Structure formats: structure tokens, C-alpha cells
Chains A and B, each alone.
Chain A
Amino acid sequence: MNHDDKLRQNFQELRNADAQRVPAFSRVARVPVPTFSMPWWRFALSAAVLVMVIFALMLKRQPVPDTQPWAALSNWRATTDALLTVSSTPWGSTISTPTDSWIESSTQTNQMRNL
């Protein structure tokens, strides 16, 4: 018996042994029952969480700043524009002179004397 024949004989023994343990085809070829089943309340919970997340995102959403160049130009104001505004109060009543403080203090002295 040559080398190949010996190998063939050994494999033949394996094949005979395996043939006795072959599981039934009907058992192997049947579709397994899926173990992962999602109950209805999990779907409901997932949907509720999803809606809440979308709602929160919508609330948090910031207004988009207007970046159009024409809009920026129309809003621009020069810093010296403030000088162009005219006050509505009479000119003389708002300006104090250096002697105002002297006049005020002398008036107070006279009032004290009269007392």
C-alpha cells in the first residue's frame, strides 16, 4: 500500500465516522426563529425620544445672521454721525461759564447773612 492509499484509507475512515453523525437536512435547512423581537412599546418609546430630540434641536436653532453685503452697507453708520444731531434744549441754558460757581457761592453767602 503506497503513501497516497494510506492517506485515502484514513480519510475514508473519517468519512465513514462523519456519515454516522450527519444531522438531518430538514433540521439544518430550516429558518431559525429570530431571537431579537422588538415589542410595540419599544417602537413607541424610540419614536417619542426621536420627536423630543427633533423638537429640542428646533428650539435651540439660532437665527442665521444676515451676511448679505448690501444689508451690511445699509446698516453702516459713521462714528461722527453723532456730531450732526441737533439738541432740542436751548443753547444758553446748557452752557456754564467759569464765573457761574463764583456767582453761586456769593448768593449763598448773602442768604446766610440775611439769616
Chain B
Amino acid sequence: MDESELRAQLEQFHPVSYGWALSCCASNPMEAEDILQTAYLKILDGRARFDGRATFKTWLFAVIRHTAVDERRRGWLRGARLDGYRQERDGDMQPAVRGDALEQTEREKLFREALAKLPRRQQEILHLVFYQDLTIEDAAGVMGVSLGSARTHYERGKHRLGEWLQQAEEFNESRR
């Protein structure tokens, strides 16, 4: 796959990739963009190669996840490396993209908070299945865990999030 093909594929999956990157960094838009940019660079300069064993989307999500894990581990390095890009980007950033200016509905905000309270693996599997419409098997491939482990995370996460939804509904009904 040459660079123009790669770019076309990346562009096609860009909106969902951004959603996945957001999920990998606790919904921080700036960090998500940094992670996405680093992942794209890895792919475009050949450090990450698509070997066709999985679908492009699954492979791309795995690269983004690995990048997020690496960047978290080397947070202090990231600050130095991407300073120039940040300065350049912040200059032409539209106001709507800034984290503080994001207008979220109350329900959406509460749901994000509930999701953030789950263990990371559970957050990831629920996002991949419900948000990205991946199968549990594909999600396991993205996360680099066995299918059995992915199923366990999926069931536990769904159960905990379900409890939260139940409580939220009861609370809303009591307010009416």
C-alpha cells in the first residue's frame, strides 16, 4: 500500500479514529489529536506497517492504542517533541475545538464520567463494541488480549455501566 492509498484510508477512518483516540486519553481533545497525529506519522513513514492480517480499521485502532499507551508512558517526552506542532496548531485552532469550550449535554457529560470510572480495559471494550460497532473478537485484536479476556471485560463493563444507567434513570424519575 503506497502513501497515497494509506492517506486515503486514514482519511476515510479519521472521524472514528478520533473517537477512539478520545477514548484512549480520557476524552481530552488536545491529547487525542496529539496521539492521532503521532499514530498517522508512524503509519505514513513506515514505522507501523499494515500486513493485511486484520482489517485496516482494526489494525489502525491497534496502532492508535499502542501510541496512546506509549505516549502516556513517556508523557514528559511528548511535551518536548510536539511543542512546535502545538504552537503552530494552537494559532489556527478554531474556538469550537478547545477543550474548555466544548458544550456537552448534561447526560452526555454524566455518561462520559460514568465510563471514565470503569477500569481501562472495560472502557476500551465497551467503546469498541458499542461506539465503533466492532465485534468482541475484533475488539480483542485491537486491545491485544484473548477473546476470553475480552468477553470478561465486556460483561463486567456492561454490567457496571448498566447499574449506573439504572441509578441515573431512578434519579431522573424521582426529580419529576
Interface on chain A toward B: helix, strand, loop, or mixed SS?
Answer: helix
B120 CB within 8 Å of chain A: no
Interface on chain B toward A: helix, strand, loop, or mixed SS?
Answer: helix
Contact call B108/A14, Cβ cutoff below 8 A: yes
Known A18-B19, A23-B18, A29-B44; judge A11-B36 contact (CB<8 A). no
Chain A residues with CB under 8 Å of B41's CB are 31-32
Known A7-B130, A29-B44, A32-B85; judge A19-B158 contact (CB<8 A). no
Contact of B22 among A3, A18, A34 (CB under 8 A): A18
Contact call B83/A22, Cβ cutoff below 8 A: no
Contact call B11/A25, Cβ cutoff below 8 A: yes
The digit string for B64-90, where 1 denotes a CB below 8 A from any CB of A, is 000000000000000011111100110
Chain B residues with CB under 8 Å of A7's CB are 126, 130, 158, 161-162, 165
Determine the interface band of chain A, counting residues with CB < 8 A from chain B. 20 to 34
Contact call B85/A28, Cβ cutoff below 8 A: no
Interfacial residues, chain B to chain A (CB-CB below 8 A): 7, 10-11, 14-15, 18-19, 22, 29, 33, 36-37, 40-41, 44, 80-85, 88-89, 92, 96-97, 102, 104-105, 107-108, 111-112, 126-127, 130-131, 158, 161-162, 165
